[in-house]
Chains A and B, each alone.
Chain A
Amino acid sequence: DVKVTQSSRYLVKRTGEKVFLECVQDMDHENMFWYRQDPGLGLRLIYFSYDVKMKEKGDIPEGYSVSREKKERFSLILESASTNQTSMYLCASRYGTSGTYEQYFGPGTRLTVT
């Protein structure tokens, strides 16, 4: 079974702090994604990566950066956390670039910025 893990289920940070969210997958997938999920807005893509050291902006990249130094690990970084970044963050991985491949999700990190 594909397993996608995220470093924390719940996280509370203060405004202005630098926040790291880690995601690890164990199936050698090329593609990895970071989403945020907010009530009434659904899942929105922040960044994705199709290979090591490669990244593409999604729909809402402002205030975020990412890092992919190893194939299995994709990190989301909030350079200076703000209260409007309070949200559920979900990581996902997928074998290929096509939308016909199944996407596997991590359990999510609920981040609260105070």
Chain B
Amino acid sequence: KNEVEQSPQNLTAQEGEFITINCSYSVGISALHWLQQHPGGGIVSLFMLSSGKKKHGRLIATINIQEKHSSLHITASHPRDSAVYICAVPPRGGSQGNLIFGKGTKLSVKP
């Protein structure tokens, strides 16, 4: 079964800072998900990627399949980016099955 480790667990930043959240997994995969959970509970999907890099606004996600590692970057961070960021991968490699979730990184951006 795939193991997912996220770092850091908690992150506090000043508005405008560049932020990096890391995700490592133990079994090779064909897709990795980044999710965002705001206070109050709802979870939204930010990215699904299988190689290289994806960008959406100020968010950038990268993945290195060989190193089994992904990063989520936030440029010019803003207080509204404060949330828990979660990475998730398939449980046994490949693409089948339900997702295994990291424990999340709690980001707080101060004005």
Point out residues on A near B: beta carbons under 8 Å: 9, 33, 40-43, 45, 48, 58, 88, 90, 92, 97-100, 102-108, 110
Contacts and interface: CB of A to CB of B under 8 A. Distances in A.
Interface string B78-111: 0000000010111000111111011110000000
B98 A105 contact: no
Interface of B: 29-31, 33, 35, 40-45, 48, 50, 86, 88-90, 94-99, 101-104
Given A40-B103, A100-B30, A45 B98 contact: yes
A99 B98 contact: yes
A19 to B, nearest CB: 18
B29 to A, nearest CB: 8
B104 A42 contact: yes
A9 B88 CA distance: 24
Nearest to A35: B101
A33 B41 contact: no
28 contacts: A33-B98, A41-B103, A42-B101, A42-B102, A43-B88, A43-B101, A48-B98, A58-B98, A88-B41, A90-B43, A97-B96, A97-B97, A99-B30, A99-B89, A99-B98, A99-B99, A100-B95, A102-B33, A102-B45, A102-B48, A103-B33, A103-B45, A103-B88, A103-B99, A104-B45, A106-B42, A107-B41, A110-B41
Contacts of A102: 33, 45, 48
A105 B103 contact: no
